[in-house]
Amino acid sequence: MLSWIDGCPATLLSVRDRGLSYGDGLFETIAVSRGVPCLLDRHLARLAEGCARLSMPLDLMLVRAELLAFSNELGDGVAKLMVTRGDGLRGYAPPQPQVPRRLLQGNPKPSYPAANAEQGVRVFACMTRLAEQPLLAGLKHLNRLEQVLARGEWHDAEHAEGLMRDTSGRVIEGVYSNLFLAKDGRLLTPDLTRCGVAGVMRAELQAQAELLGLTCEVRDIGYDELLAADEVFLCNSLYGVWPVRALHGRDWSVGPLTRKLQVIARDLLDS
C-alpha cells in the first residue's frame, strides 16, 4: 500500500503527532484516474480554506507537487491526503513554530455495485445528529467521531448510505456524501454553515448546474421537505452521483435532473 510522509515513503508516524492527539488536522479523499488526481483544484481550495480557519501554515504548492507525483505512482485508485499540525508536547496550544505534516495514503478504487448508480441507493436515517459548530462547519477536519457513530448504526448491506441531520433536525448530508434535492425543476442543497462537510463534488455540481442554467438554492432543509422532493441524490468525489431510491418508507424513482448531473460527474471522474 503506497504511503508517504512529507514526501518520502513511510508508514509510521510519531505518537506525538497532534493529528492523533487532538484530531488537529484536515484531510482530502481524492479519486485518481490514470495517474491524475481528479478535481485537484477544488480539493486544494478546500484544504487552503481549512488551513486558514485552523491557523495552520501549509505550503500548498508543495502539497500540489506531492499529490501529482503520488497520483502518478498510484495510477488508479484513491489518494487520501492528511495534513496535521505536526508534533506537539502535551497541551492544546499550537507549537511554535508549527511544522505541519503531510501524509499520503493510496487505496484501490472502491468497487461499488453498479446498481447504486443505475437504480439508486437505499439510505438509512441515522439517529446520530451533527452538532452545530460554525467554526468547523464545511471543513473536512480530522474530528470525525460523529461520522463513526453514525456509520455504526447500520450493519446490513442493503443501505449504501446514512442520512445525517443536525441537532435541530435539519437535513445536512450523508455520512460520506453531500445531498441534493430536486423540486419543480429546481435544485436545492442544504446550507453547511453550522455543520457538515462542504464536498468538492457538491461545489463542482453547483458550478455545473449554473452553467446549465439551473438554479441551485442553498438553504436550510427540513426532513419533511426532503421527503416531499421530486428527486434526491447523493454525491461525493469518488462515485460521483447516486440517486436515492428509498429512505425510511419513502420511495423515489430516478429523475431527469439526477441523471443529467450524474453524467457530468462521471465525466469529471473519468477525465
Least distance between its own copies and beta carbon 221 (Å): 20
Window contacting its own copies (CB under 8 A); options: 36-44, 103-111, 196-204, 253-261: 103-111
Catalytic residue among 161, 173, 204, 231: 173
Q: Does 132 bind its own copies (CB under 8 A)?
A: yes
Q: Does 203 bind its own copies (CB under 8 A)?
A: no
Select 90 or 114, whichever has its Cβ closest to its own copies.
90
Select 11 or 271, whichever has its Cβ closest to its own copies.
11
Question: Would you mind telling me the total number of residues written for the chain in this entry?
Answer: 271
Sole binder of its own copies in the list 58, 67, 82, 254 (CB under 8 A): 82
Q: Does 131 bind its own copies (CB under 8 A)?
A: yes
Question: Within 10 Å of residue 70's Cβ, how many Cβ atoms?
Answer: 23
**Is 140 an annotated catalytic residue?**
yes
**Is 204 an annotated catalytic residue?**
no
Q: Does 5 bind its own copies (CB under 8 A)?
A: yes
Q: Does 55 bind its own copies (CB under 8 A)?
A: yes
Q: Does 16 bind its own copies (CB under 8 A)?
A: yes
Long-range contacts of 189-193 (CB under 8 A, 24+ apart): 189/216, 189/217, 189/218, 190/218, 190/219, 190/220, 190/221, 191/218, 191/219, 191/220, 191/221, 192/137, 192/138, 193/134, 193/137, 193/138
Sole binder of its own copies in the list 14, 72, 193, 215 (CB under 8 A): 14
66 vs 62: CA distance, rounded Å: 6
Select 44 or 78, whichever has its Cβ closest to its own copies.
78
Phi-psi region for residue 249, left (φ > 0), alpha (ψ -120 to 50) or beta?
left
Sole binder of its own copies in the list 48, 69, 136, 227 (CB under 8 A): 136
CA distances from 205 to 40, 159, 201, 214, 253 (A): 15, 24, 6, 11, 21
| Binding-site size, its own copies (CB under 8 A) | 59
Decide if 233 contacts 241 (C-beta within 8 A).
yes
DSSP element (H, E) containing 46 = helix 40-53
Select 132 or 225, whichever has its Cβ closest to its own copies.
132
Q: Does 138 bind its own copies (CB under 8 A)?
A: no
Cell reading at 183:
423540486
34 vs 38: CA distance, rounded Å: 10
Sole binder of its own copies in the list 49, 146, 191, 220 (CB under 8 A): 146
Catalytic residue among 28, 84, 140, 204: 140
Phi/psi at 266 (nearest 5 deg)? -60, -40
Select 20 or 227, whichever has its Cβ closest to its own copies.
20
Q: How far apart are the first and last CA of the chain?
A: 24
| Catalytic site positions | 29, 140, 173
List of residues contacting its own copies (CB under 8 A): 3, 5, 10-24, 27, 29, 54-55, 78, 80, 82, 84-85, 89-94, 103, 105, 107, 110, 128-129, 131-133, 135-136, 141-152, 167, 175-176, 195
